[in-house]
Amino acid sequence: MAAVDDGSIADDARLLRRIRPDQIVDDENSGTRRPSSAAFKDAELSVDSEPILNDNGFDWRFSLQGHAGYSLAQFTAGHARAKMLPVIHTPLQNNPAHSEVHGKKTQGVANHLVAGTSWVHLELKSP
């Protein structure tokens, strides 16, 4: 599998990322609870491509299976590509929708991802 962005994941595809409770911060400036930029710092950031999940008969709940207490955030592939980050489909044996957002995540880039993120599921209970 070539580690290049071949565009197979469309710009409007939602990319789903699990967020641990201790990676959610209170933002008093916006009055919200949101993911910390620290949750997006991995240079090979793992996500699930929602259209591929759908193609395989799953939905966002698949991404949270076996991860009690986690929340689920999403941003679009196009939002990542706006910062020149390749979005690459890297399926795993147990996860056909697994993908990665490559590239160094400086604080500026990580905060860009945060700015384009919204909750798919926000877990309010502690695990």
Partner 1 sequence: MARANAQRVEDLFYEPTGSSASASPKAANYPNFVSAFNAPPERKWQIEVQSRLLKYAKMQNGWDSYRAPPVGWDTGMFALYILNDVMRTRTPIPQVVPSAAGGVQLEWHQKGIDLELHIAGPYQCELWFRDHQQPNDPPVSLELTDNFSALLRPIELLTTR
CA 6, CA 90: separation in Å to the nearest integer?
12
Burial degree of 78 (CB within 10 A; 0-12, 13-18, 19+) = middle
121 near partner 1, judged by CB under 8 A: no
Q: Which of 14, 79, 102, 105 binds partner 1 (CB under 8 A)?
A: 105
Smallest gap from residue 27 Cβ to partner 1 (A): 4
Binding-residue pattern over the window 7 to 46 for partner 1, x denoting contact by CB under 8 A:
-----------x-x-xx-xxxxxx-----xxxxxxxxxxx
Total of chain residues touching partner 1, rule CB under 8 A? 28
- Residue 12 or 106 with smaller CB distance to partner 1: 106
CA-based R_g, the chain, Å? 14
CA 111, CA 117: separation in Å to the nearest integer?
10
Pairing of strands 14-19, 118-121: unpaired
**Dihedral sign, Cα of residue 77, residue 78, residue 82, residue 84:** positive
CA 108, CA 92: separation in Å to the nearest integer?
30
Smallest gap from residue 89 Cβ to partner 1 (A): 16
Binding-residue pattern over the window 60 to 89 for partner 1, x denoting contact by CB under 8 A:
-------x--x-------------------
- Residue 77 or 109 with smaller CB distance to partner 1: 109
Smallest gap from residue 41 Cβ to partner 1 (A): 4
